[in-house]
Amino acid sequence: MKNLLVFYNKSSGKDEGEALAKWFQQYAQNKQPDLAVRLTQTGPEIHDETLIEKAESFDADTLIIIGGDGTIHHIVKAFQKTIGNYHIGLLPGGTVNNLARVLEIPLEKEAAADVILAAHTRAIDYGTVNDSVIIISTLTVGLLADTAMRVSQEEKQKFGPWAFAKRFIKLVVQKRRYRLTIQTDDKKWEQKAQLLTVTMTNSVGGYTNFDDLASPDDGKFHVTIIPKLNFFSYIFYLPRIIRGKFYTVPGIDYYTTSELQLASEKKVGTRTDGDTTDDLPIRMTVVPKGLTVYVPINK
């Protein structure tokens, strides 16, 4: 670790990205004066080529990402062809921070910065969607995707998870369902569903015990399909859900696979790491241990 390029997104979290970036620059150089730390802004208005050029001209060996899963997603996508050349540090600054929570990276800035400066790494998976989109945490189809598409950044910042809950309940009441076709290497599933989630970790929406079979370096997508939501049934099986065994609830379909194809008869959108992404059909592939991330020691 010699040259650290820090990416911040002014629209991430509570618009504190730039302040956090400047704080980290001073904090890191006070702790380790031999480090070179440079800041650069990212976001939808800044081209990927610009980010790559800045990293190459600075001879960066470490990319520090300030923000949530959406910002991490954007940086990994921008550097997809060369991401293996860099180590990645995370300073959580988003609303949910699924990946940071899974890796047990502290949400408090000093503690998160100390994890980066300790330079202990772990290789984790990421995935590709149609070879053009990256997934580092979660892809949703159905009610969750439609819910997220209807929640503004302002609502997320103001209400957090409750903003999603309100929209989600409204769509559930409407009983919206989606006819989907799911193809893995050895299975095919084709029927209507209300919700489908593809995860790469055990965390969804900041809840870090969603799936006790999933880990960030197991080389698998974990696919959970809910043909029809039944809240009364879920209350009965709440002890299983709390233990991360949602996949054992009757009526839930569950698969693990390294490759996956999703299709639909009608236009159905997807949501990946908090951002609106390609409509179906899509093809997904795991890139095993393609990211090297600074994590707490023994994690």
- List, in order of start, the domains of the chain with CATH numbers: 3-125+290-294 (3.40.50.10330), 135-288 (2.60.200.40)
The highest-confidence range among 86-95, 109-118, 124-133, 202-211, by mean pLDDT, is 109-118
**Beta bridge mates, 286:** 127
Evaluate whether 192 touches 185 at the Cβ level (below 8 Å).
Answer: no
d(CA 270, CA 142): 8
Residue 124 pLDDT greater than 80, yes or no: yes
Of 64-78, 137-151, 192-206, 224-238, which range is least confident? 137-151
Evaluate whether 117 touches 32 at the Cβ level (below 8 Å).
Answer: yes
Q: What share of the chain is helix, strand, coil (3-state, %, to 5)?
A: 30, 35, 35
Confidence of residue 209 (pLDDT cuts 50, 70, 90): confident
> Which two structure tokens, joined as six digits, stand for 299?
């994690």
Helices 109-118/17-31 angle, 10° precision: 50
Radius of gyration of the chain (CA): 19
pLDDT of 153:
63
pLDDT of 220:
97
277 torsion bin: left (phi>0), alpha (psi -120 to 50), beta (else): beta
pLDDT of 68:
86
The highest-confidence range among 126-140, 239-253, 284-298, by mean pLDDT, is 284-298
pLDDT in tens, 39-85: 999 988 899 999 999 999 999 999 999 988 888 999 999 999 999 99
pLDDT of 168:
62
pLDDT of 142:
78
Q: In the predicted model, what is the mean pLDDT of the chain? A: 88
d(CA 79, CA 93): 20
pLDDT of 183:
95
- CB environment 18-55: b (16+ within 10 A), e (fewer): eebbebbbebbeeeeeebebbbbbbeeebeeeebeebb
